[in-house]
Chains A and B, each alone.
Chain A
């Protein structure tokens, strides 16, 4: 009486047959290309990959056209092309990361995070000494820079997007121009003004100020975008309840955009965490620990890496790569922290 239930399926989904056909097409393409490269004067690995890839696409098109029809075939081939573009971009990123890890891990040891270069001689192995002083410097400089530029950047964004004053277009123009400042110019600016003119000398604070100059436009523009995402209806509701303008901004708009503003701050940190040029003229660099950011030369991970890698000694170069790896880890940790802060505050 009852016929079998209709077969359950996902339109556009992959079946076993599709997987086998895909793998088959790839294998066939590689084999055919290999044979062609052996029998003809064609050579070179890039050419090989490209030829095999084009052949694979052609085989895939022919097969899916025959089995599944034109619509699905087009969809398949387009998916493969887009997927390849993504994979190439990711591969570039992965290669850089892998290279830094590969070169950096040998120089890492427990003391690297705590020791300094104080009593390290040129003949000591890379496992002597460490970059503890540089880690302290990076954290202090980037942290101070974030403390300076995040409030300023958010205030700028509030002016641009909430107050929309008459000079807002001019401010926006200046902020945009600021984001084009070469980082070494920011360093020179603080150097002439703070280090030389005001006789303050090199310090972590000077470095933080140079970094803040670079961070400010990034934070301000990103925060402006985030505030623009807050629905206008919320602002109007707040005002319609009898709220003064400033309270609708502080109680409704800013809290609603909270996680977006944290993202803006992260983007700012990402912009400056690896900067080296402005630090050369402001923090200067130091082989021993100087935990006081307000005076005296200070090291930082990027300065440390730059100054080690310029050296001829293999042990020094190894330390430089280790510092580069640690810098990446520190930035990763900062990102994770900022994300967590934004998430927990929101969930409360």
Chain B
């Protein structure tokens, strides 16, 4: 009953630095406020198709807020407001007549804290997005297997799909949440510190998952782990801001360049762990 969902956008694969690619998602002069407190100012960021973009920056600079502006979660907070445009395949998601729910369907989100639906089994959790968004699809079994495999969880849970989703370990729950987001076939996946509560081996598993998904979905990930950003992302954006100054992008570029030869001394200081 909502917008049709298409799988076949794989033909858009281009190297991220090839010039004329139309970005899948583009933020133009985005600003954000909570009440009268400005959190973000003039953010311009383009995410090319099938790339992984990492967002780094000190705590409180507005990284989560930026992600939430991208898929219209920001407006759920009472008193929140914003400025600028967010283009998904060239169309402003804040445009007239665009339903927030269809934007969120195309731009999925994985939260810092894993939160599977407690009343549902593992299988129902994976399929929950279809139910919630009112999408009809044949072959639920195949979809469940495909999503859990892509999230790197299939082998661990294939014998207990009927068990409650809450009965998994934290790392497994987070991968279940990733599988849940994949089932509705989003164009973009936003991840807000998805590994911050996880042990090294779950983290490695999820990083593998992100790298594999990065060839099919456009991913934006917020992380406090510099090594993680360097390992998994194609492009890195460094945000800076604090209580008194709204967050802005200090530097943005291909991850290898940003980490090896940063242009801005503040970027270098942050990467070296000298502040923030």
Residues on A facing B (Cβ under 8 Å): 164, 231, 233-234, 236-245, 247-248, 251-252, 255-256, 258, 346
How distant is the Cα of A33 from the Cα of B119 in the complex, in angstroms?
Answer: 59
Residues of B within 8 A of A233 (CB): 111, 113, 115
Residues of B within 8 A of A243 (CB): 101, 104, 129, 132-133
Query: B115 touching A231 by the CB < 8 A rule?
Result: yes
How distant is the Cα of A248 from the Cα of B104 in the complex, in angstroms?
Answer: 13
- The residue on B at minimum CB distance from A346 is B119
Residues of A within 8 A of B119 (CB): 252, 255-256, 258, 346
Query: B129 touching A242 by the CB < 8 A rule?
Result: yes
Query: A247 touching B128 by the CB < 8 A rule?
Result: no
Known pairs A240-B73, A240-B104, A251-B131 / 20 extra A-B pairs, C-beta < 8 Å:
A164-B78, A236-B76, A236-B111, A237-B180, A238-B117, A239-B73, A240-B108, A240-B111, A241-B104, A241-B133, A241-B181, A241-B184, A242-B101, A242-B133, A243-B101, A243-B132, A244-B101, A245-B101, A247-B134, A252-B119
How distant is the Cα of A159 from the Cα of B71 in the complex, in angstroms?
Answer: 25
Contact of B132 among A236, A248, A346 (CB under 8 A): A248
5 A-B residue pairings within 8 Å (CB atoms): A238-B128, A241-B104, A241-B181, A242-B101, A242-B102
Query: B177 touching A237 by the CB < 8 A rule?
Result: yes
How distant is the Cα of A3 from the Cα of B208 in the complex, in angstroms?
Answer: 53
Query: B115 touching A234 by the CB < 8 A rule?
Result: yes
- The residue on B at minimum CB distance from A241 is B129
- The residue on A at minimum CB distance from B102 is A242
Query: B117 touching A234 by the CB < 8 A rule?
Result: yes
- The residue on A at minimum CB distance from B113 is A233
Q: Which of A164, A237, A238 has the most CB of B within 10 A?
A: A237
Q: Judge if B195 is at the interface, Cβ distance under 8 Å.
A: no
Interface residues of B in 61-108 (CB under 8 A from A): 71, 73, 76, 78, 101-102, 104-106, 108
Residues of A within 8 A of B177 (CB): 237
Q: Judge if B2 is at the interface, Cβ distance under 8 Å.
A: yes
How distant is the Cα of A234 from the Cα of B108 in the complex, in angstroms?
Answer: 14
How distant is the Cα of A243 from the Cα of B102 in the complex, in angstroms?
Answer: 8
Residues of B within 8 A of A236 (CB): 73, 76, 111
- The residue on B at minimum CB distance from A254 is B119
Interface residues of B in 102-148 (CB under 8 A from A): 102, 104-106, 108-109, 111, 113, 115, 117-119, 128-129, 131-134
Query: B109 touching A240 by the CB < 8 A rule?
Result: yes
Residues of B within 8 A of A248 (CB): 132
**B217 CB to closest chain A CB, in angstroms?**
15
Residues of B within 8 A of A258 (CB): 119
How distant is the Cα of A108 from the Cα of B115 in the complex, in angstroms?
Answer: 54
How many of chain B's residues have a CB under 8 angstroms from any CB in A? 28
- The residue on B at minimum CB distance from A235 is B76
- The residue on B at minimum CB distance from A231 is B115
Interface pairs A-B: 6 shortest CB-CB: A242-B105, A243-B132, A242-B133, A241-B129, A240-B109, A233-B115
- The residue on A at minimum CB distance from B109 is A240
Instruction: Indicate whether A237 sits within 8 Å of B105 (C-beta atoms), given known contacts A252-B117, A252-B132.
Output: no
Instruction: Indicate whether A242 sits within 8 Å of B73 (C-beta atoms), given known contacts A233-B115, A237-B117, A256-B118.
Output: no
How distant is the Cα of A236 from the Cα of B71 in the complex, in angstroms?
Answer: 12
Q: Which of B101, B105, B109, B181 has the most CB of A within 10 A?
A: B101
- The residue on B at minimum CB distance from A245 is B101
Query: B113 touching A241 by the CB < 8 A rule?
Result: no
**B93 CB to closest chain A CB, in angstroms?**
12
Residues of B within 8 A of A241 (CB): 104-105, 108, 128-129, 132-133, 180-181, 184
How distant is the Cα of A164 from the Cα of B104 in the complex, in angstroms?
Answer: 22
- The residue on B at minimum CB distance from A242 is B105
How distant is the Cα of A238 from the Cα of B118 in the complex, in angstroms?
Answer: 12
How distant is the Cα of A243 from the Cα of B71 in the complex, in angstroms?
Answer: 13
How distant is the Cα of A234 from the Cα of B105 in the complex, in angstroms?
Answer: 16
**A345 CB to closest chain B CB, in angstroms?**
9
Residues of A within 8 A of B113 (CB): 233
**A235 CB to closest chain B CB, in angstroms?**
9
Residues of B within 8 A of A245 (CB): 101
**B194 CB to closest chain A CB, in angstroms?**
13
**A141 CB to closest chain B CB, in angstroms?**
33
Query: A237 touching B115 by the CB < 8 A rule?
Result: yes
How distant is the Cα of A177 from the Cα of B152 in the complex, in angstroms?
Answer: 54
Residues of A within 8 A of B117 (CB): 234, 237-238, 252, 256
Interface residues of B in 24-48 (CB under 8 A from A): none
Query: A238 touching B132 by the CB < 8 A rule?
Result: yes
**B118 CB to closest chain A CB, in angstroms?**
6
- The residue on B at minimum CB distance from A164 is B78
How distant is the Cα of A241 from the Cα of B186 in the complex, in angstroms?
Answer: 9
Query: B111 touching A237 by the CB < 8 A rule?
Result: yes
Residues of A within 8 A of B181 (CB): 240-241
Residues of B within 8 A of A238 (CB): 117, 128, 132
How distant is the Cα of A256 from the Cα of B113 in the complex, in angstroms?
Answer: 18
Q: Per-residue CB proximity of B152-180 to A under 8 Å, as 1/0?
A: 00000000000000000000000001001
How distant is the Cα of A120 from the Cα of B106 in the complex, in angstroms?
Answer: 75
Q: Which of A240, A251, A252 has the most CB of B within 10 A?
A: A240
Query: A247 touching B115 by the CB < 8 A rule?
Result: no
Query: A247 touching B118 by the CB < 8 A rule?
Result: no
- The residue on A at minimum CB distance from B105 is A242
Residues of A within 8 A of B101 (CB): 239, 242-245
Residues of A within 8 A of B128 (CB): 238, 241, 251
